[in-house]
Chains A and B, each alone.
Chain A
Amino acid sequence: MAGGPLARQGGLLSEEFDDELLVYDEQRDVACRLNHTAALVWRLCDGKRSIDDLVVELGEKADRDMVHVALDTLVEHDLLESGYERRDPAAARVSRRRFIRRVGIAGIAAMNIPMVYSLLVPAASAAASGTGYLGYYGGTVR
């Protein structure tokens, strides 16, 4: 079946880590860290697999809500080429809430929830005054 979500490849540089992925968007100068689940979904987005196919590929812990959460996050960070449209925020929130309710705190702690953290890479002249990192220092990660 054609028309499944397709991961964007053009204009991106990436570095693989154990179970995470760092992607640099050369068009926007934004760097994104994909956690294990988000990276897994992104790699599976070949434009052929449907959402149901992705659920099957991801195994027994996955469901449609989880895949939607991943795809919502990926499309928000401009990491999908085609095959998935940005959804109504209310629908996205429902999927996220249902998924979190299902996996519980343990699931979130186990990083089952797909997350993408992004950073607007500063211009060279501003790199000296970077804002710090994560919640510690009011960084620009979202």
Chain B
Amino acid sequence: MHRLRFDSFGVAAEIACDDRALLGAIEGVLPPGWHRSDRTPQVRFALTRAGTVTVDGVEFHHPEIGYEEALPRLASVVRHELALHAPAHIFIHAGVVAADGAAIVLPGSSGSGKTTLVAELVRAGAGYCSDEFAVVDGHGRLQPYPKPLSIRGERAVLGAPVPVPAERTVREAVRPALIVFTRYEPRARWDPVELTAAEGALALLEHTVAARSRPGPALAVVARVAREARVIASPRGGSDAAAAALLEALAESVDPSDR
């Protein structure tokens, strides 16, 4: 087996594969911020040319799909495991965009349309931080996690890539200014209600990867983020109208002295 060892957000990991030629492709789907490392891996992944993906020896996917389709699944599993084990960060499933150092956080499940909304917000002028995780550090700041933006179809494993200009990719930590719980509903009108910080924190917990495994840090982080930000909820119709409303709400939420 050929092995690639790396660190990401403080987690040492290893990916083994049975074909050296696959290592380059694997490197291409590793999480944002990875770097090579010789540390003893805390979590071990494997991918075979036949398409089998394993995590610490447990098979996740059967080989009928082949490695081309298994690769994005491996990438997803790697990102999830690192999010679960990252010692100094709490990962919340959310899209994140920012303007002037202030972020909009869009917690949401896979398939809730958050990537579509993130893409629309970026098209409307926001900076791109992440379409998968809000990565919160010990100071309550959101670290950029700019994995390539892509929108999945209903059944597609590989999403359609959405190009993000380099200058629109956020590279610095940003502060949470607006947390938005929203979901696409046909013909819905954007009509936000304000949530209390406690309501926001409770709702964030539902999307927090390590909420069960590390409830103390997770609770502290969601509370901190929800206290600092304005929290709203609304169903939404078209993503373009919602994006415009959100950028306006972000501007309203930011204290001019913070800009």
Contact residues in B for A134 (Cβ distance below 8 Å): 199, 203, 233
Contact A24 B235 (CB under 8 A): no
Q: Tell me the interface secondary structure of chain B in the complex.
A: mixed
Q: Which of B119-127, B160-168, B208-216 touches A? A: B208-216
* Chain A residue at minimum C-beta to C-beta distance from B199: A33
Q: Which of B36-44, B147-155, B219-227, B244-252 touches A? A: B219-227
Known: A31-B205, A124-B213, A136-B181. Is A22-B110 also a contact (CB below 8 A)? no
Contact A121 B198 (CB under 8 A): no
Known: A20-B196, A26-B215, A133-B233. Is A127-B206 also a contact (CB below 8 A)? yes
Interface residue from A127, A131, A133 paired with B208 (Cβ < 8 Å): A127
Q: How many A residues touch B, CB cutoff 8 Å?
A: 32
B117 at the interface (CB under 8 A from A): no
- Please report the C-alpha to C-alpha distance between residue A62 and residue B197 in the assembled complex, in whole angstroms: 26
Interface residue from A13, A26, A130 paired with B93 (Cβ < 8 Å): A130
Q: Which B93-113 residues have a C-beta within 8 angstroms of A?
A: 93, 107-112
B61 at the interface (CB under 8 A from A): no
Q: Which A84-139 residues have a C-beta within 8 angstroms of B?
A: 117, 119, 121-125, 127-134, 136-137, 139
Contact residues in B for A29 (Cβ distance below 8 Å): 211-212, 215
A8 to chain B, nearest CB (A): 16
Contact B197 A132 (CB under 8 A): no
A21 at the interface (CB under 8 A from B): yes
Contact residues in A for B49 (Cβ distance below 8 Å): none
- Please report the C-alpha to C-alpha distance between residue A129 and residue B213 in the assembled complex, in whole angstroms: 17
B99 to chain A, nearest CB (A): 24
Contact B206 A119 (CB under 8 A): yes
Contact B209 A136 (CB under 8 A): no
Interface residue from A15, A127, A128 paired with B211 (Cβ < 8 Å): A127
- Please report the C-alpha to C-alpha distance between residue A20 and residue B201 in the assembled complex, in whole angstroms: 11
Contact A124 B93 (CB under 8 A): no
Known: A13-B216, A31-B205, A119-B202. Is A132-B211 also a contact (CB below 8 A)? no
Q: Which residues of A contact B (CB under 8 A)?
A: 13, 15, 17-18, 20-22, 24, 26, 29, 31, 33, 117, 119, 121-125, 127-134, 136-137, 139-141
14 cross-chain CB contacts under 8 A: A22-B223, A31-B211, A33-B199, A119-B203, A121-B205, A121-B206, A123-B212, A128-B109, A128-B110, A130-B108, A130-B207, A131-B206, A134-B203, A137-B235
Q: Which residues of B contact A (CB under 8 A)?
A: 80, 84, 93, 107-112, 181, 183, 196-199, 201-203, 205-213, 215-216, 219-220, 223, 227, 233-235
